[in-house]
Amino acid sequence: MFRGAMVAIVTPFKNDQVDEKALRELIEFQITNGTDAIVPCGTTGESATLSHEEHDRVIEITIDAVKKRVPVIAGTGSNNTAEALRLTKHAYEAGADGALIVCPYYNRPTQEGLYQHFKVIAESVPIPIIPYNIPGRTGVNLLPDMVAKLARIKNIVGIKEASGSIKQMSDVIELCGRDFAVLSGDDIFTLPLMAIGGAGVISVISNVAPADMAGLIDAFESGDMATARKLHFKMSALIEALFMDVNPIPVKAALSLMGKIHCEYRLPLCRMSDAHFEKLKQVMSDYGLI
């Protein structure tokens, strides 16, 4: 159902408010450059520091700006199942095409608790759902056997895998089959994951270089492995630079260098160190982005 290069889009701020104009312009930049889906209110979208009203509004702006040209997969996760359910219902009612739901964080549920969390939401809201497994942030790993169990629920259609383990991704593909979309949560794993049957990526680098990530996946799917490999290696240094500090600090700095947003965060996120910022500028200059 969901394939290709999907952007985990930033939430631009201006004077501590969501910058609607900049967000709409970012969406146009993405669609013009071949991005296959827009994913607002994820980790890169700083969902953790958005109010509920802002969270709802960012999703509504995204849906309105996209106008059905590509899917909108709204981030609707929480460590409170009732809260995640409310956010997911809103996304569905607003017209989102899918929901990206992060594993509950901090309270570290058991595998059965994870299953019940996603099952309750999936059975309550008739929207395609993609669980988001990122143990480094949540403190819990959604294991392949449980993913396979969740895949039997009709509207759980894929997973965003950011465990950092290609073996785990491989196990999920083997257990769930090709109709279940395994999406990379790490840009650098995109090509290796596609090679074993993955469906694409929910990408950070696509915020600044959308045509290259879309081009990598298009080349792979057309059988042009030489171009896919070339783009993989081209993006490698930039991917590394975008994770010198915790995401989305570097990618928002990069977009500000490109003149697309104000370089503004909400605490506890803060600006990059001068040394990292200068290194990012050099990598972006070498890449041809500034």
Write the burial class of residue 67 (CB in 10 Å: 0-12 exposed, 13-18 middle, 19+ buried).
exposed
Question: In a 3-state reduction of DSSP, which class is residue 245?
Answer: coil
Nearest-angstrom CA–CA distance, 235 and 238: 5
Classify strands 98-102 and 129-133 as parallel, antiparallel or unpaired. parallel
Per-residue tokens: 70: 């590509």
Active site residue 279: no
Q: Looking at the chain, which runs of residues are DSSP E strands? A: 4-8, 13-14, 17-18, 37-39, 73-75, 98-102, 129-133, 158-161, 181-184, 200-203
Is-contact 265 14, C-beta < 8 A?
no
Per-residue tokens: 108: 């570290």
* Among 132, 149, 252, 265, the one annotated catalytic: 132
Is-contact 9 40, C-beta < 8 A?
yes
Write the burial class of residue 64 (CB in 10 Å: 0-12 exposed, 13-18 middle, 19+ buried).
middle
Active site residue 132: yes
* Among 92, 149, 160, 265, the one annotated catalytic: 160
What amino acid positions are annotated as catalytic residues? 132, 160
